[in-house]
Structure 1
């Protein structure tokens, strides 16, 4: 599983994803979870995913979710969405653009979740706005819980299969 922080720390609240992954306590995550700050390197993220090593991707980014600034939501991306034009702008690739590029390159990820936060300010300034900064710790806890839950769900079929084989013996 890959947890990817996305965003530009020089554009105010766009740095939300970067801040969240930097606050994650990786010691409480399963060993199967990789946590990486991709920042504005969306093309690098697409190529990392192209290797096919990850079954689940959790992207963390500032996205226009419903609610006031600072609202955090979990979105599940449907891989069946039609592929649109593929913008390749290494300094401005939002989550859907990364996934579109990945599919255009012939890759995919079986499960994609986005932990998004509604931004208040996307301007040339460093630092998060007050409502978005207040959401970071809760979002980090949410990402950690999602990662643990997804890792457990991925491991469950293997355990069930092993139990069935033991019962047959």
Structure 2
């Protein structure tokens, strides 16, 4: 039976997934973070930093009528290329060329939601071809960073068909991630390349026993 929910009352989930600690892997999270900072949405819209939670996101997806996902995707295209995928094609690209565990996990999330019968009616995947992934503690490369604003424009245009018109210039009251991981704090705190720890980012390593 066709859903009779009014357009402006549909439950919208806007999800950024990926790992901000691995350079361009953080593209999806940075997109939803920027959207949250720049716009205020109605109560039926939920913005979420999905990080690398994988299967733990399933109940959020099950509750959504419309799902928008930002992610770094290996499409086999020129680095920094933006590509959009819709509806039934989305699961194919979430696991076609696995770059990290979170993609397999999210493919499973979609499969489980579909199996239970609680699957979004409409899906949009906004993906960017990464430039660099093997840089622990690194930030987005410039070609990928440059695609954040175009990605937000695509998402907002898509949401408009569902009656979603957020208010610009008055971002959400709640941050989506800890202050230390938000892009400005994260990038300002990164040590110079000559001083960087190549076994990991010291900002996120636990001290050895006996040390303060």
- Fold conserved (TM > 0.5)? yes
In the alignment, is the contact (CA less than 8 A) between 1:49 and 1:108 conserved in 2? yes
The equivalent residue for 2:17 is: 6
In the alignment, is the contact (CA less than 8 A) between 1:33 and 1:147 conserved in 2? no
CA distance in 2, matches of 1:105, 1:42: 17
Where do residues 1-150 of structure 1 align in structure 2 (5 Å cutoff)? 1-24=12-35, 25-27=38-40, 29-50=41-62, 52=63, 54-65=64-75, 67-78=77-88, 92-94=101-103, 95-125=106-136, 126-150=138-162
What secondary structure sits across from 2:31 in the alignment? helix
Unpaired runs of 5+ in structure 1? 83-90, 153-169
Q: Pairwise CA RMSD of aligned residues?
A: 2.4
* Greater share of helix: 1
CA distance in 2, matches of 1:150, 1:123: 38
TM-score, normalising length: structure 1: 0.71
The equivalent residue for 2:4 is: none
In the alignment, is the contact (CA less than 8 A) between 2:55 and 2:108 conserved in 1? no
Structure 2 CA distance for partners of 1:67 and 1:2, relative to 1, 3 Å: same
CA distance in 1, matches of 2:112, 2:78: 30
CA distance in 1, matches of 2:27, 2:144: 7
Aligned residue-pair number: 140
Structure 2 CA distance for partners of 1:150 and 1:92, relative to 1, 3 Å: farther
Unpaired runs of 5+ in structure 2? 1-11, 93-99, 165-212
CA distance in 2, matches of 1:124, 1:98: 27
What secondary structure sits across from 1:108 in the alignment? coil
Structure 2 CA distance for partners of 1:77 and 1:96, relative to 1, 3 Å: farther
In the alignment, is the contact (CA less than 8 A) between 2:71 and 2:127 conserved in 1? yes
TM-score, normalising length: structure 2: 0.58
Q: CA deviation at 1:106?
A: 4.9
